[in-house]
A = this chain, B = another copy of it.
């Protein structure tokens, strides 16, 4: 008998019919002899609708009240799911983040879980009742309602799986697993049966949108096996776990891409110690998420520095960088939105030094210029012109026979 945490995303509970289908699946999982703990997101576009409502009412969207507003979404979906379960004879109880004992810090809209007091959930499981927990939300140490930010429901599920020592955390979504590339770009892309936490982390941070980065980090840190699968097909999806014998050590597991970034370049930066620190401390203090950084070789005491950041943070990045540039005596700051990033991820890369060369050759053959490069032990990322991005993804997917 296993304990399974099942997390259902917004598309999985988008309407009354889908909610009943999910209830059936939970019942079937129980009939197979498992205990189930459910984590649920808000229905379909509920969260977007609530944000739109807030836009209509006010331009002062205080974080505390936005959290109060948005948490109404899961409240609705979890209550409905419990009623659908009651309809087919499965005893269930809904729990808000607060009732589930999910204690967070006081950082509204992107709170971090500091503790989980899971007594009520454990008690429910013991009495053969399915706890249905609101994803994405918690209660702060100051007793205010908080949300965990983007991908928060995945994080709730993984955190609960860890605390409850679940055998697996199933993440149900609208795709049937993790693919070797985005199937919309590469129609021949294949589902990956199993992948390591490290590879999944690199994928999540380089454009793969199936799992939130934070939840994968959490799963790796607490060694919670994940199973990413679709609530539309119910077929086995992708297992994410520790690197091990069961997992094939593919040289390259997947190609991912990201086209929502901007490249900021600071030209003629006086090249002396502390200059880069001055720039990136200022950028970090502004809360801008930097991805890649490249610094040119110094010529006559000057250098150029480029970095990429999410396009949504462009204005903040430009404003803080321009200020910093003046402070250090650099010449100018420019932003380039027409870029894309393609990444190769694979645990086997560590022991196959030829991968980088093959990437460069593949792109060169297509006459695609590489503007920035960054690598980790199991990932290679290249920034190219945005118009070349999809060609690069297709070519690399083919070159590495994925």
* A interface with B by C-beta (< 8 Å): 16, 19-20, 50, 53-54, 56-62, 64-66, 68-69, 71-73, 75-76, 78-80, 82-84, 86-87, 93-94, 96, 98-99, 120, 143, 145
Contacts and interface: CB of A to CB of B under 8 A. Distances in A.
Given A64-B93, A65-B94, A57 B72 contact: no
Contacts of A58: 20, 80, 83-84, 86-87
A180 B364 CA distance: 88
Nearest to A143: B99
Given A62-B83, A68-B75, A76-B69, A56 B16 contact: yes
Contacts of A60: 83, 86-87
* Best-buried of A58, A64, A98, A145 by chain B (most CB within 10 Å): A58
A58 B89 CA distance: 12
Given A72-B76, A75-B75, A76-B72, A82 B53 contact: no
B16 A53 contact: yes
A57 B75 contact: no
A82 B94 contact: no
Contacts of A83: 54, 57-58, 60-62, 65-66, 69
Given A54-B83, A75-B75, A98-B98, 20 more contacts: A16-B53, A16-B56, A16-B57, A53-B76, A54-B80, A57-B83, A58-B86, A59-B87, A60-B83, A60-B86, A60-B87, A64-B94, A65-B80, A66-B79, A68-B75, A68-B96, A69-B76, A71-B75, A99-B143, A120-B143
A64 B79 CA distance: 9
Contacts of A16: 53, 56-57
Given A19-B57, A53-B16, A57-B19, A79 B68 contact: yes
* Best-buried of A68, A69, A99, A120 by chain B (most CB within 10 Å): A68
A54 B19 CA distance: 11
23 contacts: A16-B57, A19-B57, A20-B58, A53-B80, A54-B80, A54-B83, A57-B87, A58-B84, A58-B86, A58-B87, A61-B83, A64-B93, A64-B94, A65-B79, A65-B94, A66-B79, A69-B75, A69-B80, A71-B75, A72-B72, A72-B76, A75-B75, A120-B143
A71 B62 CA distance: 21
A242 to B, nearest CB: 38
Contacts of A98: 98
A65 B53 contact: no
A249 B82 CA distance: 54
A68 B86 contact: no
A58 B87 CA distance: 6
A66 to B, nearest CB: 7
Contacts of A68: 75, 78-79, 82, 94, 96
A84 B57 contact: yes
A84 B56 CA distance: 10
Contacts of A71: 75
A387 B60 CA distance: 54
A282 B68 CA distance: 45
Given A57-B16, A57-B19, A143-B99, A79 B69 contact: yes
Nearest to A52: B16
A57 B86 contact: no
Contacts of A66: 79, 83
A143 B98 CA distance: 11
A16 B71 CA distance: 19
Among all A-B residue pairs, the 5 with the closest Cβ atoms: A69-B79, A58-B83, A16-B56, A60-B86, A68-B79
Nearest to A91: B62
B20 A57 contact: yes
